[in-house]
Amino acid sequence: MMNVALAGNPNTGKTSLFNILTGSYEYVGNWTGVTVEKKIGVLKNKAGHLIDLPGIYSLNPLSRDEGVATHFLLSEEFSLILNIIDASQIERNLYLTLQLLEYGKPMLIGLNMMDVARSRGIVIDDTKLSQLLMGSRIVPIVARTGKGCEVLAADFASVEQRTAQPLDIDYGPVLEEAVQSLTAKIEGKQLPPARWLSLQFFEGNMLVRELLEQHISREELADLFSETEKKITAQTPAKSLQHYIRGVRTDYIHSILDQCVTKVKDVQYTFSDRLDQIVTNKFLGVPIFLLFMFLTFKLTFDWVGSPLSDMLDSFINGTLTDMLQVALLAVHASPFIQAVILKGIVAGVGGVLVFVPQIFILFFLISFIEDSGYMARVAMVMDKLMELIGLNGKAFIPMIIGFGCNVPGVMAARTIEQPNERLLTVILTPLMSCSARLSVYSLFVGTFFRHNQAVIVLSLYVMGIVVALGLAKIFSSTLFKQSGSMFVVELPPYRVPQWRTLGRSTWEKGKGFVRKAGTFIFGGSVVIWFLSYAGPSGFNVPMDKSFLAMIGGLFAPILAPLGFGNWQSGAALLTGFLAKEVVVSTMNIIYAAPDMAALQGIMSHYFSPLTAYSFMVFLLLYVPCLATVAVIKKETGSSKWTWFSIGYALVIAYIIALVVFEGGKLLGFH
């Protein structure tokens, strides 16, 4: 079996190619930092495995996800490297390519984004380029459509057979001498190629240094490093060894490009540039983003989502329930079984499923915004804002992913290099309003804000962001003192999203919701129904005397100042910790209404528009769901920070809901 390592810069089409070559459906997004873990797939012809590594600009890792790739090269078995180069950004991409060539494994280069390069008038002489890159086989491809990918795959076997010569760049006498003395010490050991290791070491690669420290004493290495650095900085204009090595490689790249790249026409990207000037404008950027979000919610609720939801509701609560009733009677099901199924499962699961249209429409639109390239612009706009308050600009990406589900959002924080900033992002990402919460909003806005659904939901999303930013400011100036970070958001080209990609990424985001409905919410509904059916005095008790009412009642007094001090809200919020959709299930079960219209009628006895809003605010902020808590624990590796993220959320939710309720009353809302 051969193992093919897929390596390249971020956002160059690695995952697109991976999906084509392995027939998988991994997340493709038009921005950096989408793939944070390596993904392994089986090649379609079953000849071996393909490993999709997170994107990196250099083998010298800056952040955890970048470390994944270097770690892979250092410690895993693989037979060839498939390096993806974005032809339209070839200069920057070659930096990694040189380091991979120095490694000396057989290498195949996929020259991707040929369509983009061509439209920009960039012509690459790939035969010449191949000669300059140690004869590596180069195949021009368009990963997005699959063009050329078959040719590429067909070459794996023959490239694997080749014995590759490592690329040997002359780094000048001082460094070469140092490299030689280091390679002499490690030659013959069971290690990756010695020259490559030495160069990486002098470049400051921590993973390589750690590896070498297992064989050579720490002091010896440190001395060698500092002596060499001293000489280099004295003899050359470079400020550090890393700087020097980078300079040599960059010159090398220029000499390659001079020989094989020509620009046939001077393309002016005026349209894209002008668009960027507007959407990333200091003053207009945020309002334009808000407008986009507003339209998104308008579509999600008013224009498309709610009518679809109503249809689904009449199907579930009408046709489906009737059929089930007939079927249950036909099999002479006991009244207990009938109640479990109709009042527990259909109410609980059906109540949540009714909102599937909204959720998928929202995900579809978010995928569209992502894949078009606009989201990266938003990240750039937010970057300026975020740095002001002590968050890394990259923190916005986990947050956007968190809109889908907080779990992958928290994981996406791995792209952030600075440990403190990463921790802060992990802790704040759960404040992003996820799709599970959307189902609760859908229920409430449909009941209490029929004519302003989009605005109300938008306000909650914005509130999540604002609270996160506010807390970031507070936490970063108290808990996490930190050094400044550097981050350049990269602007990918605008692209017209493809249906296939959109469909996939919508499904990727939404499938968790559907799956949860079938498992967690299903089980939860049965339990909740049972708790509402049984009480201290036996079974089939009036709902107010049930265990559920007792448990919920414990919280009612605490919630009273927020405007919703009834046991029903207490019970719903408690179960909502399992998964926030469960709030909807619980309410459907408790209020036992035959359909959505009836449910809305009953709910208006318990909530007013003001208390409904206060409830939604509380639900947005109060605590990350169980799955998110688990991933926070995993990512931070610390119980302290896990408890902290639950604790601060409860406190802040209580305070803000209180302010909303009391403030609202003062302003005359009710």
Please identify, using beta-carbon distances, which residue of 29 and 357 lies nearer to ligand GDP.
29
117 binds, among Mg ion, ligand GDP, none (CB under 5 to 8 A by kind): none
Q: Is 115 in the site for ligand GDP (CB under 6 A)?
A: yes
For 161, other C-beta atoms within 10 Å of its C-beta total 10
Q: What is the rounded distance in angstroms from the CA atom of residue 151 to the CA atom of residue 153?
A: 6
Shortest approach of ligand GDP to residue 230 CB, angstroms? 39
Please identify, using beta-carbon distances, which residue of 64 and 195 lies nearer to ligand GDP.
64
Q: Is 116 in the site for ligand GDP (CB under 6 A)?
A: yes
Backbone angle region of 240, left / alpha / beta, with phi > 0 → left and psi within -120 to 50 → alpha: beta
Tell me the backbone φ, ψ of residue 488, rounded to 5 degrees. Answer: -110, 120
Shortest approach of Mg ion to residue 7 CB, angstroms? 11
Q: Is 63 in the site for ligand GDP (CB under 6 A)?
A: no
What does the per-residue mask of binding to ligand GDP show for 481-500, with x meaning CB under 6 A? --------------x-----
Please identify, using beta-carbon distances, which residue of 129 and 143 lies nearer to ligand GDP.
143
Residue whose CB is nearest to ligand GDP in the complex, by number:
13
Question: Which of 65, 371, 417, 581 lies at the binding interface for ligand GDP (CB under 6 A)?
Answer: 371
Please identify, using beta-carbon distances, which residue of 34 and 657 lies nearer to Mg ion.
34
Shortest approach of Mg ion to residue 84 CB, angstroms? 10
Question: Which of 4, 5, 7, 13 lies at the binding interface for ligand GDP (CB under 6 A)?
Answer: 13
Shortest approach of Mg ion to residue 82 CB, angstroms? 13
Q: Which of 598-634 are b and which e, b meaning 16 or more Cβ less than 10 Å from the residue's Cβ?
A: ebbeebeebbbbbbbbbbbbbbbbbbbbebbbebbee
DSSP type of residue 625: -
Q: Is 505 in the site for ligand GDP (CB under 6 A)?
A: no
Shortest approach of ligand GDP to residue 402 CB, angstroms? 19
Q: Which residues are CB-contacts of 151 (< 8 A; sequence separation ≥ 6)? A: 139, 141
What does the per-residue mask of binding to ligand GDP show for 317-336, with x meaning CB under 6 A? --------------------
Q: Is 10 in the site for ligand GDP (CB under 6 A)?
A: yes
Strands (E), 191-294: 261-263
Q: Which amino acid is at 175?
A: L
Secondary structure class of 290 (helix, strand, coil)? helix
10 binds, among ligand GDP, Mg ion, none (CB under 5 to 8 A by kind): ligand GDP
Shortest approach of Mg ion to residue 5 CB, angstroms? 14
Q: Is 15 in the site for Mg ion (CB under 5 A)?
A: yes
Quick one: CA dihedral 572, 578, 584, 588, positive or negative? negative
Q: Which amino acid is at 525?
A: S
For 298, other C-beta atoms within 10 Å of its C-beta total 17
Q: Is 148 in the site for ligand GDP (CB under 6 A)?
A: no
Shortest approach of ligand GDP to residue 119 CB, angstroms? 9
Q: Is 16 in the site for Mg ion (CB under 5 A)?
A: no
Question: Which of 51, 82, 143, 260 lies at the binding interface for ligand GDP (CB under 6 A)?
Answer: 143
DSSP string, 366-422: HHHHHHHTHHHHHHHHHHHHHHHTT--GGGHHHHHHHHH-HHHHHHHGGG--SHHHH
Q: What is the rounded distance in angstroms from the CA atom of residue 30 to the CA atom of residue 501?
A: 11
Please identify, using beta-carbon distances, which residue of 231 and 504 lies nearer to ligand GDP.
504
For 507, other C-beta atoms within 10 Å of its C-beta total 15
Q: How many residues bind Mg ion (CB under 5 A)?
A: 3
Q: Is 313 in the site for ligand GDP (CB under 6 A)?
A: no
Q: What is the rounded distance in angstroms from the CA atom of residue 223 to the CA atom of residue 218?
A: 9
List the structure tokens of 416: 């952030």
Stretch that binds ligand GDP, among 23-31, 210-218, 224-232, 263-271 (CB under 6 A): 23-31
Shortest approach of ligand GDP to residue 132 CB, angstroms? 23
Please identify, using beta-carbon distances, which residue of 53 and 616 lies nearer to Mg ion.
53
Q: How many residues bind ligand GDP (CB under 6 A)?
A: 24
DSSP string, 208-232: HHHHHHTTS-HHHHHHHHHHHHHHH
Shortest approach of ligand GDP to residue 443 CB, angstroms? 34
Shortest approach of Mg ion to residue 55 CB, angstroms? 6
Instruction: Give, in order, the Cα–Cα distances in Å from 300 to each of 356, 368, 463.
Output: 11, 13, 19
345 binds, among ligand GDP, Mg ion, none (CB under 5 to 8 A by kind): none
Burial class (CB in 10 A: 0-12, 13-18, 19+), 84: buried
Q: Which residues are CB-contacts of 266 (< 8 A; sequence separation ≥ 6)? A: 121
Stretch that binds Mg ion, among 13-21, 241-249, 253-261, 512-520 (CB under 5 A): 13-21
Please identify, using beta-carbon distances, which residue of 29 and 104 lies nearer to ligand GDP.
29
Question: Which of 35, 63, 447, 506 lies at the binding interface for Mg ion (CB under 5 A)?
Answer: 35
Q: What is the rounded distance in angstroms from the CA atom of residue 85 to the CA atom of residue 8?
A: 6
636 binds, among Mg ion, ligand GDP, none (CB under 5 to 8 A by kind): none
Stretch that binds Mg ion, among 33-41, 248-256, 449-457, 507-515 (CB under 5 A): 33-41
List the structure tokens of 584: 């909807």
Question: Which of 11, 392, 447, 485 lies at the binding interface for ligand GDP (CB under 6 A)?
Answer: 11
Q: Is 16 in the site for ligand GDP (CB under 6 A)?
A: yes
Question: Which of 36, 51, 109, 113 lies at the binding interface for ligand GDP (CB under 6 A)?
Answer: 113
Shortest approach of ligand GDP to residue 54 CB, angstroms? 8
Answer yes or no: are the C-beta atoms of 448 and 612 closer than 8 Å: yes
CA Rg value for the chain: 29
User: Which of these, 302, 602, 607, 615, lies nearest to 441 by C-alpha position?
Assistant: 615
Stretch that binds Mg ion, among 35-43, 198-206, 354-362, 484-492 (CB under 5 A): 35-43
Tell me the backbone φ, ψ of residue 100, rounded to 5 degrees. Answer: -70, -35
Q: Is 505 in the site for Mg ion (CB under 5 A)?
A: no
Q: Is 29 in the site for ligand GDP (CB under 6 A)?
A: yes
Quick one: CA dihedral 273, 277, 280, 284, positive or negative? negative
Which residues here bind Mg ion, judged by CB under 5 A? 15, 34-35
Q: Interface residues with ligand GDP (CB under 6 A)?
A: 8, 10-16, 28-30, 34-35, 55, 112-113, 115-116, 142-144, 371, 495, 501
